[in-house]
Amino acid sequence: MQSLWFLLLLAVFSACHVYAKGNHKKPHVHCFTNQELASPSKRVVQHFVGHRMDWSKYSCVELVEQLENSDSSKRRKRNTQVSCPNFNFIADNKSNEISKRSISPWTYRIDVDENRFPQKLAFAKCLCNHCISTYTGKETSALNSVLITQSMLVLRKETCPEDKSKYTFRIEYLNVPVACTCVVPR
């Protein structure tokens, strides 16, 4: 009786194995036209990352609108500082922005990539090679200023394998510079 069960199981396993071998299909790739991608559609994005993904939780996405608004006002002003500042800690520490009060100050620039979603991200850029001394308010070589990065899920736009006039996305992780900090030199 046991040998009969064994033969029956062997036959079922063999049939499943043969069926599985001949039934390999390429995974379906969802493709979209330029028209479908032109308007920011949640349906397209949600297809790849799900309904719970919220890019606004990333500061590098949230900051873009603020930077675009402040950039237009800065263009009207002359002599905007983009180099390593000298600090007067009593006068300069009243700013609400951590990036300006830090002894490793940084600024942001908007990085634009047409083949990425989100297309615009705020990237931090250290203003100093070294850190600012709290005693003198000037840059000192005792500490180095380095970028801090955050790993972020993005979608990379690619041409569709079945139809070259359409596009699909693949998930990619990008290390986005979000701030600067001080470290001991190597």
Parse the chain into domains and list their residue ranges.
Answer: 29-75+85-183
d(CA 103, CA 93): 11
- Determine which helix (DSSP H) or strand (DSSP E) holds 48, and give its type and residue range: helix 42-49
For residue 177, give the nearest of 143, 144, 141, 152 by alpha carbon. 152
Residues of the chain with pLDDT below 50 are 1, 3-20, 76, 78-79, 90
Do you know the residue count of the chain? 186
| pLDDT score for 106 | 95
Fold classification of 29-75+85-183 is Cystine Knot Cytokines, subunit B (2.10.90)
pTM above 0.85, yes or no: no
Contact 144, 131 (CB under 8 A): yes
d(CA 174, CA 129): 24
| pLDDT score for 156 | 93
| pLDDT score for 39 | 65
Please write the tens of the pLDDT for every residue from 121-153.
999 999 999 999 988 889 999 999 999 999 999
d(CA 15, CA 173): 41
